Each structure stands twice: as structure tokens, then as C-alpha cells.
């Protein structure tokens, strides 16, 4: 059941969009990012290394989609991946079965996670937060299910910080990417939504401030590929 006051319309639209693009999602992710998205997800795991190395550590990947990050985490520690799009999870499940990882996938809403408070040492969310109908409730849920001394890592598109590169990237993101993404996936709308949702999403500093206000401690972020994406880290003490 959605939390009270949530924009149910946005949630439904987002889920339907991922149902449509699920079959081409992985191909386009890797193609449109020139495979750099794989390095970004690996960096998330590196930044959680000390937490994952703890005895009996467990991880949760929220908005896990086709399970790329969940599989990376699941090579280190038992990991649960959660997503509300069945079609994305079906593709993810095939990947899990072919991998050497310990991952359990679950169909559930990130805004109402079906876990008790303080259940996981590491909680991740890759390219999911921006899609949530309510970012703050998403961050609140991540914080709630995180154990004390645990760490959250949010990987998301952000604002490029290098002048010149910023303009070049924006041209690619707004004009080239929707054409290729639209042609291959058959959903131009989905690949127009991507850049516009990034424009509306808080930039690096803003997201860090939101996390601090929500109670996350030791909040910091690392820019990836000149700020095209960023990983925000926050802890629960």
C-alpha cells in the first residue's frame, strides 16, 4: 500500500515505463553510457567495502531493476534486491541465476519497504531515487532499514561540473540519447523523461543537504565522470 500523500500517478507512470523498456534496458544502459555505468556501480561497492567486510554483513539494493548492482553486492555479502516492476525483476533473476552471487529479489515498493527497522548494514539505490514519487520518503525508508553503523550509497545522475564538458554532455543527453534510446526501445517518451527527470532532481550539494536534514550522518559525495553521476554516502550512527 502506498504511503499517505504519495503521488500515485507518478508511481504508476514510472512502473509502466519500465515495463515497456525492460527488454532493452540493459543494452541501452551500457550502449548509451559507453559501458561506464558498470564502473560506476563497481565504485559503489568499493565505497561500501569496509561495511561489507564486517562479519555477517547484509545488503539491500532498492530499485534494483535488472539487478546489476545487486549482483555486484551479492558477490560479497547476502543481498536483497527490491523493485516494483515485475518485468525488470524477471530479467534480473536470470542474471542472478547465472552469476556467482547470493541475491534474493523481491517485488516491493521502495516507499514502503517490507523490512523491519535496522535490518541491513549497507543499503544502495542506483538510478532509482530520481524515479520515486517522493524522494524524501524513499530516503526515510532507506534510513529506517539501515542498521546502526550502517552506510547508504545513492548512485544517481547529477550535474556535470566541468565547463565545456557540461554543455557537450547536455547536448548529448537532451538531443542524441533520446533519439537512440527511443529508436531501440520503441519508447521515445522514456528517453525524453530521462534527461528531464535529471534536470528536476536536486544537484550534488542539494541532495547532500536533504540527506543531512533527514538525519543521515557523515554525508559526503563523489562525482563520477565529471559529475555526470554522483555517489552520495550517508551513515546511521
Ligand X SMILES: C[S@@+](CC[C@H](N)C(=O)[O-])C[C@H]1O[C@@H](n2cnc3c(N)ncnc32)[C@H](O)[C@@H]1O
For ligand X, which is the closer residue by CB, 181 or 234? Answer: 181
Residue range at the interface with ligand X (CB under 6 A); choices 127-135, 184-192, 208-216, 218-226: 127-135
Phi, psi dihedrals of residue 56, rounded to the nearest 5°:
60, 25
Helix (H) or strand (E) holding 94: helix 86-98
Cα(150)–Cα(112) distance, integer angstroms: 20
Lookup: cell for 42: 563497481
Shortest separation between residue 180's beta carbon and ligand X, angstroms? 16
In the complex, what is the shortest distance from the CB of residue 163 to ligand X, in angstroms, rounded to a whole number? 28
Q: Please give the size of the binding site for ligand X, defined by CB under 6 A.
A: 22
Residue of 120, 127, 169, 221 interacting with ligand X (CB under 6 A): 127
Select from 42-50, 59-67, 139-147, 174-182 the region that touches ligand X (CB under 6 A): 59-67
Residue ranges in 27-56 that form contacts with ligand X under rule CB under 6 A: 29
- 63 lines the binding site for ligand X (CB under 6 A): yes
User: Nearest CA to 61 among 31, 92, 36, 90?
Assistant: 92
Distances (CA, A) of 31 to 8, 19, 24, 96, 181: 31, 20, 10, 21, 9
- Judged by CB under 6 A, which of 64, 139, 224, 228 binds ligand X? 64
Q: How far is CA 187 from CA 85, 184, 212, in A?
A: 17, 8, 36
Nearer to ligand X, 14 or 219 (CB): 14
Per the structure block, which three cell numbers stand in for 25? 534496458
Interface residues toward ligand X, by CB under 6 A: 11, 14-15, 18, 29, 63-65, 68-69, 83-85, 88, 109-111, 126-128, 131-132
Amino acid at each position: 500500500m502506498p504511503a499517505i500523500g504519495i503521488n500515485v500517478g507518478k508511481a504508476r507512470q514510472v512502473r509502466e515505463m519500465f515495463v515497456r523498456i525492460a527488454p532493452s534496458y540493459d543494452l541501452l544502459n551500457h550502449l548509451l553510457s559507453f559501458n561506464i555505468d558498470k564502473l560506476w556501480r563497481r565504485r559503489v561497492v568499493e565505497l561500501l567495502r569496509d561495511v561489507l567486510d564486517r562479519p555477517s554483513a547484509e545488503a539491500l539494493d532498492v530499485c534494483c531493476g535488472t539487478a546489476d548492482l545487486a549482483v555486484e553486492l551479492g558477490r560479497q555479502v547476502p543481498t536483497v534486491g527490491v523493485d516494483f516492476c515485475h518485468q525488470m525483476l524477471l530479467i534480473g533473476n536470470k542474471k542472478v541465476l547465472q552469476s556467482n552471487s547470493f541475491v534474493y529479489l523481491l517485488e516491493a515498493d521502495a516507499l514502503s519497504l517490507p523490512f523491519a527497522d535496522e535490518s541491513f548494514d549497507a543499503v544502495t539505490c542506483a538510478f532509482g531515487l530520481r524515479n520515486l514519487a517522493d524522494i524524501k520518503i524513499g530516503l526515510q525508508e532507506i534510513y529506517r532499514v539501515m542498521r546502526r553503523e550502517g552506510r547508504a550509497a545513492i548512485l544517481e545522475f547529477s550535474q556535470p561540473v566541468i565547463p565545456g564538458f557540461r554543455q557537450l554532455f547536455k547536448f548529448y543527453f537532451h538531443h542524441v540519447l533520446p533519439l537512440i534510446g527511443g529508436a531501440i526501445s520503441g519508447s521515445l517518451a522514456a528517453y525524453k523523461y530521462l534527461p528531464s527527470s535529471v534536470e528536476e532532481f536536486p544537484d550534488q550539494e542539494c541532495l547532500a543537504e536533504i540527506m543531512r536534514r533527514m538525519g543521515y550522518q557523515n554525508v559526503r559525495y563523489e562525482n563520477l565522470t565529471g559529475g555526470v553521476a554522483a555517489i552520495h554516502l550517508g551513515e546511521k550512527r
